[in-house]
């Protein structure tokens, strides 16, 4: 299984992070611009009971992934990144007519954010190396079938959690 990993450095103040919102219009290939940089990670969540979407710069063009269960890769979500933003398609998770969507975009400035991937082998206690700095936050994104996992430097050893709303 392929796992995508996004890590944020211990100095997130140096990272370029912007956020905003837009009202869905149901169109295909809708540009969201004005970020001031080409993003490496974009998360979009609408004001509706659908799961949020995430896309990283190592995804194939046209693909993004649901953050919570069922955790599927879809082709009508966050389509691609541009020099100044990103494009969304007509999927309900990112561009349903009249729904307000909120987004956050992050850049890959050296020493602040890194994206990459590894092939999972099912073994516990696996180290992922080559990041280039000590991360403050790590997101682990399986290709399909599971919520996105995250871990912060403040969490207890050998602990991570998901974005899934369990038991609420």
User: Are 142 and 81 in a shared domain?
Assistant: no
For the chain, the domain total comes to 2
Considering the domain architecture, whether residues 143 and 125 belong to the same structural domain is answered as yes
For the segment 88-103, what is each residue's pLDDT rounded down to a tens digit? 999 999 999 999 999 9
| Domain match, 66 and 51 both | yes
Query: In this structure, how many other beta carbons lie within 10 angstroms of the beta carbon of residue 24?
Result: 22
Residues 36 and 95 in one domain: yes
67 in a domain, yes or no? yes
Range of the domain at 100: 13-106
Q: Note the pLDDT of residue 35.
A: 95
**Considering the domain boundaries, does residue 168 fall inside one?**
no
Same-domain check for residues 92 and 117: no
Nearest to 117 by CA among 45, 26, 56: 56
DSSP secondary-structure letter at 52? Answer: P
For residues 99 and 84, give the distance between their C-alpha atoms in angstroms, rounded to a whole number. 23
Please give the model's pTM, rounded to 2 decimal places.
0.86
pLDDT above 60: residue 4: no
58 or 19, which is more confident: 19
Q: Looking at the structure, do residues 88 and 21 belong to the same domain, yes or no?
A: yes
Give the tens place of pLDDT for each residue, 11-42. 555 668 899 999 999 999 999 999 999 999 99
In this predicted structure, the answer to whether residue 75 has a pLDDT above a threshold of 80 is yes
Close Cβ partners of 60 (under 8 Å, ≥ 6 residues apart): none
Alpha-carbon distances, residue 52 vs 3, 37, 77, 161 (angstroms): 18, 22, 10, 16
Domain identity same for 18 and 96:
yes
Whether the pLDDT of residue 145 is over 90: the answer is no
Rounded distance between C-alpha atoms, residue 25 and residue 97, angstroms: 4
- Please check whether residues 93 and 136 belong to one and the same domain: no
Domain identity same for 80 and 102:
yes
* Residues 45 and 118 grouped into a single domain: no
Please indicate, yes or no, whether residues 101 and 39 belong to a single structural domain of this protein: yes
**Which band of pLDDT confidence, cut at 50, 70 and 90, is reported for residue 125?**
confident
């Amino acid at each position: 299984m392929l796992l995508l990993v996004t890590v944020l450095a211990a100095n997130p103040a140096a990272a370029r992070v912007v956020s905003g919102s837009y009202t869905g219009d149901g169109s295909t290939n809708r540009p969201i611009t004005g970020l001031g940089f080409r993003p490496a990670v974009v998360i979009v969540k609408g004001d509706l009971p659908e799961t949020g979407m995430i896309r990283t710069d190592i995804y194939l063009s046209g693909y993004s992934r649901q953050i919570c269960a069922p955790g599927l890769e879809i082709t009508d979500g966050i389509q691609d990144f541009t020099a100044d933003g990103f494009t969304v398609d007509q999927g309900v998770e990112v561009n349903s007519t009249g729904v307000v969507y909120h987004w956050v975009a992050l850049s890959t400035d050296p020493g602040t954010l890194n994206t990459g991937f590894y092939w999972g082998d099912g073994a516990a206690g696996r180290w992922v190396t080559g990041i280039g700095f000590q991360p403050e936050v790590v997101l682990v994104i399986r290709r399909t079938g599971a919520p996105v996992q995250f871990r912060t430097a403040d969490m207890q050893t050998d602990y991570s959690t998901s974005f899934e709303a369990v038991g609420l």
